[in-house]
Amino acid sequence: MNRSSLKKILAQLPYTVELYWHLVQRHKPWQAHFNLDLLETVLPKAVVQAEVKRRDHAPGKKVFIFASLHFWIEYATLMGVALAGRGHQVTLSFLPYARWDKPIDKFDQRRQNLYAREVLRTAGSLLQVQSLMDVHPFSRDLPEELERAVDEVSIYDAQYTLQVEDITKAEDIYHLRYERNREAALNARAWLNAHKPDVVIVPNGTIQEMGVVYRVAQQMGFPTVTFEFSDQRERIWLAQDSEIMRHNTDDLWAARGDEPLEEAHITQLRDLYSARVDAKTWKNFTRQWQDTPTQGGAAVRKALNLDDRPVVLLATNVLGDSLTLGRQVFSKTMADWVEKTVHYFADRQDVQLVIRVHPGEVLTHGTSMVTVIRDALGEIPAHFRLIAPDEKINTYDILDITDLGLVYSTTVGLEMAMRGIPVIIAGQTHYRNRGFTSDPDTWEMYFSMLDVKLRDLEAAQLTQAQVELAWRYAYLFFFVFPKPFPWHLLDLKEDIEMRPMAYVLGQEGEGKYGETFDYLAGKPLTW
């Protein structure tokens, strides 16, 4: 009998894994991919510092934080300790997975569960630790609404993993995700029903078990907070009763959309935009949006062999990216929109169509939009320019010569509007319906808008008032929508050293981050 078969047998027997853990594993170095090394290092000190600060606070809310995957568990634990240090009664719940896309045998799953519980015991004075693996629901049935939610999130997971949009449900990854997501839904529903927290906090809220737990909490009527990270240090995105990756800026826009920008704001936004154009990072933004410095519109026109006919820029997203999941408005998928759009322009030789495939595709393994477009057209028309993700073309140079922009949900559409370029949005993105883009709801509206704008591109250019509106929105999205927060998921080790728990919960940290912690605990967001 091989080791794998033995583990399968032992995993079915009560207490065998627990016995193995106590007699053998806990005395050996932990070497699995699922590891909480950072947490083991920083948690003891963070807990002591939070215990001191907790004495200054009256009892707060009953907070339930859930995370899956080891890196989210580490982050959620420190967030929970900080909330507990501010007086809240925090339950930290988790599922002990290292990978969302790979099966794990029950023996190793139970072993990882014991390891996580062992590490998290250090925070026992502040956190109630609850593995969802250890919750046993009385019923295996889910309400119809949650069954649909589990199915939808599992489709998203398969799209995200395979980086394709068309899922048949025959894929192995769909079945893996469905099994795990349904189990998470059953167990989370049972725990929430028994304990009834005041607020539920989950990372992301769209995909994987985090997305399912968010849906469960919403269906049961619990206030929820979802959070994620952008490319800014010391900033966090968060949303209440909404999936944060949908970037719902409605309340922010309603509250501050009429405020004119001050000169300092304009300078701040202009500097950021210049960094994006010039392939540089800027201040606390860690992402470099281009890897090719700008050469100017004339240079790119020559490089792409474009003539004097008007230029239409179609900018794609990455297939399966979380910013495209469930974002369709009138098309079946993003690829469906792209396919029908290129067919439309195949007969429009009065203009030149430049298709900029998202540079982020160089980091992915799924189907490229280059393939989608070539399959849709067969032969690329002479008045098309298809720019592959790895081509050394700066997108912002293309904007210098663009007369009309077409986007699904990419932020490039917002940046085009900031330049006065008319933009038609096909997907559900956060800057849709803000007054400076064209936002069709049907195919008929979409093609009608194309016909009208192409008939008179000069008249289609944005007014000065619309350009100012786009700049106002961009400032709010980049500089107001993200909230101050001490730690970033990708830089957690460095951040917790620079801004330890004592600082975060101290007077200076309270001044910087206190309101954000209040929002996480359910205080209504204000802008």
Q: What is the DSSP string of 267-335?
A: HHHHHHHHHHHTT--BTTB---S-SS----HHHHHHHTT--SS-EEEEEPPPTT-TTTTT-BSSSSSHH
Residue 527 lies in a domain: no
Answer yes or no: do 288 and 198 share one domain. no
Answer yes or no: do 333 and 241 share one domain. no
Answer yes or no: do 185 and 264 share one domain. no
Q: pLDDT tens digit string along 105-136?
A: 888 898 899 999 999 999 999 999 999 999 99
* Per-residue pLDDT at 281: 39
* Per-residue pLDDT at 319: 78
User: Per-residue confidence at 236, pLDDT binned at 50, 70, 90?
Assistant: very high
Q: pLDDT tens digit string along 374-412?
A: 999 989 999 999 999 888 888 888 999 999 999 999 999
Answer yes or no: do 296 and 411 share one domain. yes
What is the average pLDDT value for the chain, to the nearest integer? 90
Residue 360 lies in a domain: yes
Can you give the CATH number for the domain in which 266 is found? 3.40.50.2000
CA distance 279 to 308: 27
Instruction: For the sheet with 89-95, list strands across it.
Output: 127-131, 89-95, 62-68, 199-203, 224-228, 235-240, 483-484
Residue 370 lies in a domain: yes
Answer yes or no: do 494 and 422 share one domain. no
- Reading the block at residue 467, the tokens are 């350009």
CA distance 187 to 182: 9
Answer yes or no: do 397 and 491 share one domain. no
Residue 303 lies in a domain: yes
Phi, psi of 304 (to 5 degrees): -90, 0
Answer yes or no: do 307 and 398 share one domain. yes
Answer yes or no: do 460 and 354 share one domain. yes
Answer yes or no: do 409 and 357 share one domain. yes
The closest alpha carbon to 94, from 153, 125, 123, 135, belongs to 135
Q: pLDDT tens digit string along 293-313?
A: 556 778 899 999 999 999 999
**How many other CB atoms sit within 10 Å of the CB of residue 170?**
7
Answer yes or no: do 476 and 495 share one domain. no
Q: Which residues of 486-502 are buried (b: 16+ CB within 10 A; e: fewer)?
A: bbbeeebeebbeebbbb
Q: pLDDT tens digit string along 8-23?
A: 655 565 556 666 656 5
Answer yes or no: do 285 and 179 share one domain. no
Residue 165 lies in a domain: yes
User: Per-residue confidence at 290, pLDDT binned at 50, 70, 90?
Assistant: very low
| pLDDT above 70: percentage of residues in the chain | 90
Q: Which residues of 16-33 are buried (b: 16+ CB within 10 A; e: fewer)?
A: ebeebbeeebeeeebeee
User: Per-residue confidence at 273, pLDDT binned at 50, 70, 90?
Assistant: confident
pLDDT higher for 364 or 344?
Answer: 344
User: Per-residue confidence at 292, pLDDT binned at 50, 70, 90?
Assistant: low
Q: What is the pTM of this model?
A: 0.89
> What average pLDDT does this structure show over 483-501?
96
Give how many domains the chain has, as a whole number: 2
Residue 525 lies in a domain: no
Residue 254 lies in a domain: no
Say yes or no to pLDDT of 288 above 50.
Answer: no
**Parent domain of 378:** 259-480
- Identity of the residue numbered 424: I
Say yes or no to pLDDT of 507 above 90.
Answer: yes
> What average pLDDT does this structure show over 320-346?
91
Residue 252 lies in a domain: no
CA distance 274 to 288: 12
Say yes or no to pLDDT of 287 above 70.
Answer: no
Answer yes or no: do 422 and 507 share one domain. no
CA distance 512 to 509: 5
The closest alpha carbon to 398, from 292, 504, 520, 313, belongs to 313
* Per-residue pLDDT at 88: 98
